[in-house]
Structure 1
Amino acid sequence: MLHIKEKKMSDVDAKELDRLLQQAFDTASKLYQDRGFQRRVGFGKRPALVSVDLANAWTRPGNPFTCDQEKMDNEIIPGMQKLLKAFRAQNLPVIHVTTAYEITDRNAPFTDMGLWHDKIPVDVVDLAKPELWAIDSRIAPVPGEYTLLKKRASSFHGTELAGILRANGVDTILVTGVTACACVRQTICDGIADGFRTIAVKEAIGDRVPGAVAWNLFDIDAKFGDVHTVDECVAYIDGLAQTAVAAE
């Protein structure tokens, strides 16, 4: 991987940013509620877990795509482990999404990168280097789970995701991963547009930029899906099993 130096915000700066964001959210919430936003889409009857770009190029240090390592190691990965345990116990669908490109030469006359490499360094995520796009070993897929390769921000854009979900009777997607401002957000927006109940799992979503997670989760909760904690999502999954037993 490439080695990238990171400059972290001090604890004081981070707390002040959180304070200012919360102040903005409080003001915006009143406006939204007065205008009929922030309604609830709710959980459905059959969920799938859609984990976006929790691959080594994003979860491990030393890559241009590397996300906040403290949050990754202490919140996102442990949160994913809890969710995976719950989903696997109920034999519910899990889709691991990753991103990589076969033609990474920016001067090539044809490339599967499209024009995105003109904005961000997608050329570093080479399909020939699985150590970059492989799902983090701490949350690695197990037999029966699907790994989906995408080329664009949304996990739905130009992929088989919607068809797979519908074929398996899924009505709800619990979305985790990175980044909050791009691939996670776009997946959630396209998910609700395609008719799925969209749930953003709060502690299991990250980014590279301070404040990006908080702002995007606030805005998603107002317009495109419901934001729930890991524990709330696990309780929902566990509740499905209890409902099934009661119905027998």
Structure 2
Amino acid sequence: MTDRDLVPLGAFAQNAWSVSAAEVSLVRARDAARPVTLGDRDRKVTLDIGRTAIVVVDMQNDFCHPQGWLAHIGVDVAPCRAPIAPLQALLPMLREAGVPVIWLNWGNRPDRANLPPSVLHVYDPDGRSTGIGKPLPGNGAHVLEEGSWAAAVVDELAPAPGDIAVSKYRMTGFQDTELEAILRNLDVTTVLFAGVNADQCVLNTLTDAVARGFDAVLLEDCSATSSPAFCMEATLYNVRQCYGFVCDGADLRAALEAGA
């Protein structure tokens, strides 16, 4: 190779220039569309799996582990663990198909310098509770703090090499984060959403994605909430009515198998 040969410049091939000392090409390589068709009730939904990513929200110890923060404050975390098995089955197939897997977890700064009182108050209403950044009585891990056991993905869903981790600091994963820039760099148009809580952080991130022009698909069997059942029902209704589509991870696995 000489200094006149073009080499890729960019974090991802989907959005890379080709450059040399003598030339710059702004032409991005685009693969042919790879359509995959799913069902949303009585309607077919076809997406381009080659321009799709999955965002897995908050499948972390504080929300899904029996010794995590939610369990400590008396919340039954069994519903939050329901997506583990479907995701264990789906994620390897998505990786094999070249679909980026993005883990979006609460992971706050230790000094909480970017968190206003309105966020802190939700989890620490009297200023004396085990809120964000405080140690869990059981193991001392700091609640929702980046780098702590509390903020780590549960062991059953250990991220694979090549997966992407994004820390968030609000109910939405787009505020103050690099999530949108990563999705744009990946040339993604459709985002699959999974994780917990479906009616809170998942829904907030999904609606923000739609507001930014992404197509959104909520994977019902890969999502859950510890809230009352009517909250999940309202979430499914609102996603279908206003924001995107509700499909099933099992159907996606079957479609990928058929395509393979």
1:69 aligns with 2:77: yes
1:64 Cα shift? 4.0
**Distance in 2 of aligned mates of 1:226 and 1:102:** 34
Sequence identity (%): 25
- 2:47 is paired with a residue of what secondary structure? coil
Match of 1:192 among 210, 219, 222: 210
Match of 1:178 in 2: 196
**Distance in 1 of aligned mates of 2:87 and 2:198:** 15
Structure 1 stretch 121-130 or stretch 208-217: which is displaced more?
121-130
Q: Determine which structure has greater relative contact order: mean sequence separation of CA pairs < 8 Å that are 6+ residues apart, divided by chain length.
A: 1
| Structure 1 alignment gaps of length 5 or more | 1-37, 105-109, 243-248
Match of 1:98 in 2: 105
Deviation digits for residues 68-117 of structure 1, max 9, x if unmatched? Answer: 533344x310111122021111121010011122245xxxxx72322300
Q: Is the 8 A contact 2:79 2:224 kept in 1?
A: yes
Match of 1:208 among 219, 222, 226: 226
Q: Which amino acid in 2 is paired with 1:98?
A: N
1:227 Cα shift? 0.5
Match of 1:78 among 74, 85, 91: 85
Q: Is the 8 A contact 1:113 1:123 kept in 2?
A: no
1:48 Cα shift? 0.4
Match of 2:121 in 1: 118
Match of 1:235 in 2: 254
Q: Is the 8 A contact 1:154 1:184 kept in 2?
A: yes
Q: Which amino acid in 1 is paired with 2:65?
A: R
| Structure 2 alignment gaps of length 5 or more | 1-40, 124-130, 135-142
Q: Is the 8 A contact 1:205 1:213 kept in 2?
A: no
TM-score (normalizing by structure 2): 0.68
Q: Which amino acid in 2 is paired with 1:204?
A: C
1:223 Cα shift? 0.9
**Distance in 1 of aligned mates of 2:146 and 2:59:** 18
Bigger proportion of residues as strand:
2
Q: Which amino acid in 2 is paired with 1:112?
A: N
Q: Which amino acid in 2 is paired with 1:228?
A: C
* 1:123-142 alignment, distance < 5 Å: 123-124=133-134, 125-127=143-145, 130-142=148-160
Q: Which amino acid in 1 is paired with 2:251?
A: E
**Distance in 2 of aligned mates of 1:41 and 1:198:** 15
Bigger proportion of residues as helix:
1
Instruction: Name the count of aligned residue pairs.
Output: 198
